[in-house]
Amino acid sequence: MFGMQDPSQTLLQIERYLEEGRLELAEVMATQFSELMLANKKREAQDRIFLLKGLRLMCDIALARGKAAQNLSTIKRMHTERKSLTTLLRKHAPAMLDAMQPEHEDHLRAGRLYAAAGKHKAAAKAYAKCEALVPGHLAAALAAAQSSPSKATLQRLLTTLASAGPVIHAQGLFLLRPDGSPEVHADHVVATLRQNSSMAAGFGERCEAEAQRLEAQKAAIIAGEQAANEQLQSALNALQPKHDYYEYG
């Protein structure tokens, strides 16, 4: 198999194929890579790191190819390998633990794959684990509300939005970038809120009010009344001296 002399290069190649939309080739390579790694029963720590990355890519490719139902076992294997790797590193190389991809990302990945396969209870459990690890995880709260819209999931989304920060404009997109969790498209949040604004009186109104707040922030950015990235602007403002120090010289 191409690149197996250097597993890191093979993984980079699979990622490139995935980014380029060459999904069938990415799937073949990721499957072969993971099978070869799993066949090695005496895996060292680095081999386990490579395998875990390969399994994550298999999940991402399965989601992109619409093959979630055929790849549910990959989720279990991904969690098993992560647990095994964490135990190994904690015992022999604890300094490497901080370099691991955060656990919440694997639960978000698993939730999305479960949801795409129609396993909504399993998806809800995965999203809940993600939010437990990172309170205020907007991407997980949004995915849960999209997968299984209910008062409970929409309440979590509304609560998370309250601490997610303002809408920003970057790379031509309107985004929300909460600390500690992945960015989400503001339009996706608005669409999810509005699709469920017909719920019981009062609650649906809250969804619509939040959607309007986000839309108002987008409009303010377009009109130039709000900074395209208020979080960055606030950080820059904090760096500005509060006094003209030359006046004391």
Among 31-40, 67-76, 230-239, whose mean pLDDT is lowest? 230-239
On the question of pLDDT at 97 being above 90, the answer is no
Locate 115 and state its tokens: 């949801």
Mean pLDDT of the chain: 88
Percent of the chain with pLDDT over 90: 70
For the segment 187-216, the average pLDDT, to the nearest whole number, is 88
Place 43 in a pLDDT band, splitting at 50, 70 and 90. confident
On the question of pLDDT at 246 being above 60, the answer is no
More confident residue, 40 or 4: 40
CA–CA gap between residue 209 and residue 194 (Å, rounded):
9
For the chain, the domains span 1-101, 131-249
On the question of pLDDT at 243 being above 80, the answer is no
Residue whose token pair is 């990622």: 15
Q: What is the pLDDT of residue 247?
A: 34
Q: What is the pLDDT of residue 227?
A: 66
Place 171 in a pLDDT band, splitting at 50, 70 and 90. confident
CA-nearest of 154, 159, 156 to 199 is: 154
**Rounded to an integer, what is the distance from CA 92 to the centroid of its chain?**
29
Contact by Cβ (8 Å): 49, 99:
no
On the question of pLDDT at 50 being above 80, the answer is yes
Place 159 in a pLDDT band, splitting at 50, 70 and 90. very high
Residue type, 248: Y
**What's the pTM value of the predicted model, to 2 decimals?**
0.84
CA-nearest of 57, 27, 52, 142 to 103 is: 52
